[in-house]
Amino acid sequence: MIIGSCHAPGVDLCPTCSAPLNGRTVRRPAPDEPLQVRELRRCKTCDHVAWRPESDTGPWSDAGSGPEHDYLFATLQPLPEPWSFIPHGEKAELEAQLRTEVPDEHPLRGKKVIAIARCGGCDEVVYSVEEDPGWFARVHLTWRSAPGSLPWPTTTPLALPLVNSLADHAH
Ligand SMILES: [Zn+2]
Ligand SMILES: [Zn+2]
């Protein structure tokens, strides 16, 4: 990695256009090294996405621009009631619960998922499926401690943007 001599510690600058990089941070595994987590931010000035290793305070690297990044940042719009984003510290439990519940033959069996949002009125959780950036699945968790039998946990694919496809989920 090239470290620019003009980099001021503590100031996050876009590696592409040098504008302040003050958007929201998204965390994702590195594409080539899944155990390594990267922070990503989208520059509001040039629309490029920048990345750096998690917990690093050094300069950012360019991750390019284009629609393939949209799904990462599309979820930042407010969600319709009663949906809410899952705080970073609560994702792991919901991801582990899905892995526990899905039986063989289930479309999400063996998939690496990221818990995105949950419904405040029922046990439904939205996951993104890591291998396919366009695949968001709404899942009704059973909260059992062993795999269920199909179709449980029931799952529905969601179209983007999530804000629209979650709006008709009513109680
Ligand atoms: Zn920029
Ligand atoms: Zn619900």
In the chain, the percentage of residues whose pLDDT exceeds 70 is 89
Tell me if 171 is assigned to some domain. no
Q: CA 134 → CA 118, 157, 158, distances in Å?
A: 18, 10, 9
Specify whether 60 is located in the same domain as 29. Answer: yes
Supply the mean pLDDT for the chain. Answer: 86
* Per-residue pLDDT at 76: 55
Compute the distance from residue 169 Cα to the ligand 2 centre, in Å: 6
Does residue 136 contact residue 116 with C-beta atoms inside 8 Å?
yes
Specify whether 23 is located in the same domain as 68. Answer: yes
Task: Name residues with Cβ closer than 5 Å to ligand 2, which is an ion.
Answer: 119, 121-122, 124
The pLDDT tens digits of the residues spanning 49-95 come to: 999 999 888 999 999 887 667 767 764 567 888 998 888 789 899 99
Compute the distance from residue 79 Cα to the ligand 1 centre, in Å: 27
Of 24, 29, 34, the residue nearest 75 (C-alpha): 24
Compute the distance from residue 140 Cα to the ligand 2 centre, in Å: 9
Specify whether 11 is located in the same domain as 38. Answer: yes
Specify whether 88 is located in the same domain as 36. Answer: no
Compute the distance from residue 42 Cα to the ligand 1 centre, in Å: 8
Q: pTM score > 0.75 for this model?
A: no
Of 122, 135, 131, 129, the residue nearest 98 (C-alpha): 129
Specify whether 91 is located in the same domain as 46. Answer: no
Compute the distance from residue 6 Cα to the ligand 2 centre, in Å: 50
Counting ligands in written order, the one closest to the CA of 122 is: 2
Specify whether 69 is located in the same domain as 95. Answer: no
Domain extent at residue 110: 83-165
